[in-house]
Structures are given as C-alpha cells and as structure tokens.
Structure 1
C-alpha cells in the first residue's frame, strides 16, 4: 500500500514538474515579448522574473496535486512553506552548481549527461526536502 501510494505521489510530482517547466518556458517567452527584451541583460532579467513566477506556480501545483493540501489555509503557514520551498530549491540548485556539475565534469562526464544527472539529483533532493520539510504534516 505504501509503495503504491509513493509511486502515485512520485508520478504526480514528475507530471507537475513537466507542467512547471512548460509554464516556465511560456512565462519567459511572454515576459521577453512584453519587455521587448533585445539585450542579454534584459533577457536575463526576464529569466529571473519567469523563474520566480514559475517557482510560485510549482509551489501551489505541488501543494495541491502532489501533497493534497488545500490551497486556502492560514497565511503564516503558507508564507512559511513558500519560504521553505524557495530555500529547498536554492539548496538543490546550489548543490548542482557547486558540487554535482564540477565533480562530474572533473570525472569527464559529458556536460549533457552531467546536466541530466544534475536534474535527476536536484529533483530527488527537492522532492525529499519538500516532503520532509516544506509540507510536513504538522505545518498543514
């Protein structure tokens, strides 16, 4: 029973991850068009904005469809969860940038494979932190 429930949860997590990635790409395209971003600096600014919007989108998507938590709850808990979610994503990205990528690069792993491994490890880290720390039952 637990194994079947976990598989469903992980599957929903992966589906929501794909939806979040699509949302991020679409948000970036819209922001670049709205800002008429013709320089690398403005495009990167658009990228930063789209990442934040996508993080918020994925937070609420995961909260509702993966962890099954109602969206309209006490503001303090939601703000605390949003902060923790951002922190967990930053830890996963930091680990990819400063540990996984350099280590795998040093081991001679091609950058494409390296990136895919980093995405998999980062997703596992984010899922684990989100499950154990962001949406723990006593914070609901």
Structure 2
C-alpha cells in the first residue's frame, strides 16, 4: 500500500464534473449579459453618430443618409458634402441584433429629417423602436419593449 497523500481518481472526476456543471449553469446568464452590454455600446455609438451628423449637416452644409440595411448587420452612414463628394462609414451591429426592415433616413443641409421608424429585434427578446421625427432638429425617440 502507498501512504502518499493525494486525490483519488474518483474524487478528481467528481470535482471536475461539478466544475463543468457550474460553468454550464453560468454560461447562459453570462452570454445574455455580454449581448446586453454589446447592444448598449452599439446604441450609444448610433446616438453619437446621429447627433454628430445632425450638427454637421447644418454647420457644414452636408447631407447625410443613414441606411439601415436588413440582413447585413451594418448601418451605412453616407455623407455628401457641398462639393458632392461622398464618404461612407459603417456601424457594425452586434450579432444579437437584427433589423426588422431596411430603412433610409436622410438629414438635409438645413437639418430636416425624413421621418421613419427603425425597429431592432434582439435575440434576448427585446425590441428597440427608433422613431425619427419628420421636420427640423433631427429629433428621434427610442422605445424599448
């Protein structure tokens, strides 16, 4: 017989099994929290880009087009300056979000907006409804369901 201190194979298997079970139990809440965090960052980014575009449209005399394209997980922000030069940026949506429909929202040089509603559906069951108000001031409202 061996008098060495240590763990038996059965004890190690039990500890390993418990560890794996705890990891599996914690995976879904951790994944949901990560998706919520990514969505929060994305919507903050979208808000900053929208506010910047609304301000620049009036100050610099530019036109902006926000293209919310379903199926691409991207939002294209196209700027046309006074000389007609087009520049484009992409906002990448988190994989947990999908667009309900393709939408185009325009901001003119005077700051007027083509009114429309953009709906984002999250894998977590949440729905985010952005309502862009027709008229001047580039206002929008966000409803989370």
For the aligned pair, the TM-score class normalised by the smaller chain equals: 0.3 to 0.5
- Give the structure, 1 or 2, with the largest relative contact order (CA under 8 Å, sep 6 or more): 1
- TM-score for both structures, normalised by structure 1: 0.37
- TM-score for both structures, normalised by structure 2: 0.36
Greater fraction strand: 2
